[in-house]
Amino acid sequence: MTLTVSFLPSLVRGCRPGKIVQMTEAEVRGLCIKSREIFLSQPILLELEAPLKICGDIHGQYTDLLRLFEYGGFPPEANYLFLGDYVDRGKQSLETICLLLAYKIKYPENFFLLRGNHECASINRIYGFYDEWLSPDLQSMEQIRRIMRPTDVPDTGLLCDLLWSDPDKDVQGWGENDRGVSFTFGADVVSKFLNRHDLDLICRAHQVVEDGYEFFAKRQLVTLFSAPNYCGEFDNAGGMMSVDESLMCSFQILKPSEKKAKYQYGGVNSGRPVTPPRTTQAPKKR
């Protein structure tokens, strides 16, 4: 635990845009080993109590992650649930994941991290870090509880769909996904899922939404995206959802910067497509 206490201040202080936070290999390895122990000791299907702050994709936008904490309160002032996609595409993926893992180690019962589709070695190799929730296979929550960890993400099946499936207002039932993996699902699928499992709302991430959050299926599903000005290509806001003790949901918004330089990519990340947006908004012309 000494590692985390000494490591956190330097991560939080290193908040100037683009500033590299100095970390040794031993420190990074220590974070990975200790956090892995904690993840494996906790259930794969989290059942958390409010109040809670919920955040969507971060994608290596480290300074924006710090802005989220400034808005919502740095741990342990607030409890947090992150929905995945912490790395790739942004310029400071390493600082981002290290800060999140450090908080997980320091506050294991107040700070929770789900796995997104970018928490996968094969994706990291393509999108830069290496140099959600519905499936037609899901019939009961027990199927999620039985998923063995650690595990690679297969090309098809329940685990793949939990990380890759997307809502589509033009689809009824299940449809093909333009990503080339998993499925899209319609509002009818959301309603049936909530009724079957006695739930009120699905909260997911995985897609850019213009206002930082976007409802679907008559407010039965909400998509969160917490990285504003995503990749310097979109004028989207970043959103964080707060759930209070009475389960009332509210949203805090990180507004997009009017002038924010595009990220400069190189190597394996150069020329790769960004996460498809939920809106038809085109990338900002410059």
Model confidence pLDDT, tens digit, residues 66-77: 999 999 999 999
Instruction: Kindly report, residue by residue over 24-48, the tens digit of the pLDDT.
Output: 778 888 999 999 999 999 998 999 9
The pLDDT value given to residue 99: 93
The percent of residues above 70 in pLDDT, for the chain, comes to 77
User: Which DSSP symbol is given to 229?
Assistant: S
Q: Which residue has the higher pLDDT, 52 or 20?
A: 52
Q: What is the dihedral of CA 274, 276, 279, 283, to 10 degrees?
A: 30
Average pLDDT score over residue span 7-15: 62
CA–CA gap between residue 224 and residue 232 (Å, rounded)? 18
pLDDT of residue 278: 53
Tell me whether the omega of the peptide bond preceding residue 51 falls within 30 degrees of 0, making it cis. yes
pLDDT score of 141 = 86
State the pairing for strand pair 221-224/213-216. Answer: antiparallel
For the segment 214-235, the average pLDDT, to the nearest whole number, is 94
Instruction: Give the count of beta carbons closer than 10 Å to the beta carbon of residue 281.
Output: 13
Q: Which residues are catalytic?
A: 118
Q: What is the chain's mean pLDDT, rounded?
A: 82
